[in-house]
Amino acid sequence: MSIAKQISRLAQHSAIYAISTAIQKLAGFLLLPIYTNTAYIASRSEFSDYATIFAFTAFMHYFYAYGMDSALLRYFFIGGRDRKTVFSTTLFVLILSSLVTTGMLLFWSVPVAQALFGDGSYVLFVQLAAVTLFFDVIGNLPYLVLRAEEKSVQYTLLRILRFFLELGLNIYFIVYLKTGVIGVMYTILIASVINFLITLPISLRYFALRFDAALCREMLGFALPFLPNGIAFTMIELIDRFIIPAVLDKDALGLYSANYKFGTILLQPVLAFRTAWQPFFLKVSSQENAKTIYSRVLTYFTMIAGLIIIGGTFFLGDLLRWDVAGFTFLGQEYWEGINMIPIILLSYLFLGMYMIFTPGFYIEKKSKYMVIFTGSGAIVNILANLYLLPRIGIYGAAWATVLSYATMAITIFIAAQRIYPIQVEWRRILQSLVLIIAGMSIYYFFPLALGWRIGLFLMMIAAFFAILERSERSAVKSKVTKLF
Could you read off the pLDDT of 141-187 as tens digits, one per residue?
A: 998 888 778 787 888 888 888 888 888 887 888 777 777 778 888 98
- Tell me the C-alpha to C-alpha distance, in Å, between residue 397 and each of 67, 254, 317: 28, 13, 19
Quick check: 102 pLDDT over 80?
A: yes
pLDDT one-digit tens code per residue, 399-442: 999 999 999 999 999 999 998 888 899 999 999 999 999 999 99
Partner residues linked to 184 by β-bridges: none
Whether residue 484 is predicted with pLDDT greater than 60 in this model: the reply is no
Quickly count: other Cβ atoms within 10 Å of residue 374's Cβ.
26
Return d(Cα 407, Cα 432) in angstroms, integer: 19
Residue 119 to residue 96: CA distance in whole angstroms: 31
- The Cα–Cα gap between 110 and 315 comes to 44
pLDDT tens per residue, range 192-202:
999 999 999 99
First to last CA, the chain: 27
CA 280 to chain centre: 18
Separation between Cα atoms, residue 20 and residue 307, nearest integer Å: 21
State the pLDDT at residue 459.
96
- The secondary element (H helix, E strand) that includes residue 327 is strand 327-328
Burial of 315 from C-beta contacts in 10 A (0-12 / 13-18 / 19+): middle
How far is the C-alpha of 219 from the C-alpha of 237, rounded, in Å? 27
Can you point out the beta strands (E) in 231-320?
Answer: none
Question: In 3-state terms, what secondary structure has residue 323?
Answer: strand
pTM metric for this prediction: 0.73
Answer yes or no: is pLDDT of 115 > 90. no
Going by C-alpha positions, the residue among 341, 463, 356 that lies closest to residue 399 is 341
pLDDT for residue 209 is more than 70: yes
> What phi, psi does 40 have (nearest 5°)?
-115, -45
| The pLDDT value given to residue 396 | 95
